[in-house]
Structure 1
Amino acid sequence: MKKFIVENDFWNLFPKAKIGVVVCKGIDNTIKNEEKFKKMILEAEKKALECLKNPEFSSNEVIRIWRETFRKFKTKKGARSSIESLLKRVYKGNHLNNINPLVDIYNSISLKYLLPCGGEDIDKISGDIILTKAVGDEFFVALGEDKNEPPYEGELIYKDNNGAICRCLNWRESVRTMLTENTKNAVLCMELVDENRGKEFEIALEELSKKVMENLGGACKVSILDINNKEIILD
């Protein structure tokens, strides 16, 4: 029985945060209509640009809040939240590429609602998924890389029995547990650190779940973890 657990190392830093989890079972992630997902991303990019009202990129509220968040724990120099990375690309006029349907869907939701979102293949997870501070020796090979780059001691990471699966909270994901066209069962994760956006957060999670089921079939279950509800069962 696999669990998704957020340990007190995280809650001690961010007691008012929320972690949204969407468990997707029995999906079909093969590419059937690339143009459909491309259109979905383009519409989300347009929405994101409308929300970046300050011409100085770093002064936009979502960027400022996540940079402040990353200053509260040990990070690799230059590490930024996943939502900042997406927004910076769009802000510079560079469109996101299609990756696979599930990733395209969560990227579009991430941009539309200005919330970081990532995902892992449940069947590639060993044991529980745990959000905690790193010891510093966890095995980690990032997407697009081929060598082990363990997190720093004290860095917030998602990990399982075989090492880290995402470094610096939501900065970079592991190639070991990445979502592919062969993924049948997945866990999608969305983080909220701005307590004023709780309702938007819930709407984003529900839309994410709905879009997955509409486009990829299967069944999805949405859960929200907080300081009073620190774990869920994935199976």
Structure 2
Amino acid sequence: MLDDILVDEAIHTIRPDFAVLVMTARGLRNGPTDDRSRAWLAEASEQGVQAEKIESWREAYKAFGAKPSRTRPSVDALTRRLPLPEINQVVDAYNSISVRHCLPIGGEDLDKYDGPAHLTVATGDEVSEEALGAPEPGEVIWRDDTGVTCRRWNWRQVVRTRLTEETVNALFLLERLEPMSIEELELAGKELAALLTELSPDVRIDTRLITTGK
């Protein structure tokens, strides 16, 4: 699965510094927010906002024609919602890591995917959920063989692949731009893996780092 995930060369033309740490977690036991995940959210909410990292994502959005003041990068939107909202244990886990490192993270139900995840530039004729609308030509999107899974890089995810309390197998996409280092990206991945393992001691986690030309 991890080896089949694609990042088009066009993405690296837009942002040569882009890297994504992809992670699969199989055998999760999810559930409603509890005191443990609530504490993760509270701790992350106390972190200061790292404006230079958010600004880097805003510039990336502008590079493919999006207006980041109207459709905000996910981590920008998330840091504006402090204290962090309670969703479910697994979402709480990755939202807390996202804010702690000011790092966009997507969480997807792997069993709802049709084929591998693919980060690409939209042609404008991709299938998308009505609530999200069709992507514009030139827009950066995540997609699978069925259609769009997330519009405008990491702005908004479709309902089809959303993580729920019934999710057993998940895909996480940790997306990095400078000034975040690759070392910090990998650290964030390890921290997320630790939280998922705390929730589900028998979870099986695999990762792959995708950078320019890899």
Question: Considering only aligned residues, what root-mean-square deviation do their CA atoms show, in Å?
Answer: 1.8
Determine if the alignment matches structure 1 residue 110 to structure 2 residue 98.
Answer: yes
1:97 Cα shift?
Answer: 2.0
**Counterpart in the other structure of 2:85:** 97
Paired letter, 2:157:
E
Question: Does 176-185 or 193-202 show the bigger shift?
Answer: 193-202
- Contact 2:14 2:63 (C-alpha < 8 Å) held by counterparts: yes
Equivalent position of 2:184 in the other structure? 200
Q: Give, as a single letter, the amino acid of the residue that structure 1 aligns with 2:151.
A: R
Q: Is the 8 A contact 2:21 2:174 kept in 1?
A: yes
- Is 1:76–1:152's contact at 8 Å kept on the other side of the alignment? no
Aligned counterpart in structure 1 of residue 61 of structure 2, from 60, 67, 70 = 70
TM-score, structure 2 as length reference: 0.92
Partner of 2:172: 188
| Counterparts of 2:88 and 2:128, CA distance in 1 | 22
Q: Which runs of 5+ in 2 are unaligned?
A: none
- Deviations along 1:73-105, one digit per CA (max 9) or x if unpaired, are 132671111110011222xxxx22211111100
**Structure 1 gap ranges (5+):** 53-59, 230-235
What is the aligned residue count? Answer: 211
* Identical-residue share of aligned pairs (%): 34
User: Could you say which residue in structure 2 is the equivalent of 1:133?
Assistant: 121
Q: Secondary structure at the match of 2:183?
A: helix
CA distance in 1, matches of 2:171, 2:100: 20
For residues 38 and 180 of structure 2, the distance between their equivalents in structure 1, rounded to whole angstroms, comes to: 31
Q: Which aligned segments of 4 or more residues in structure 1 are displaced greater than 6 angstroms?
A: none
Correspondence for 1:46: 46
Corresponding residue of 2:20: 19
Cα distance, 1:195 vs. partner?
A: 4.8
Q: Counterparts of 2:81 and 2:28 in 1: how far apart (Å)?
A: 29
Alignment partners' CA distance in 1, 2:59 and 2:93: 27
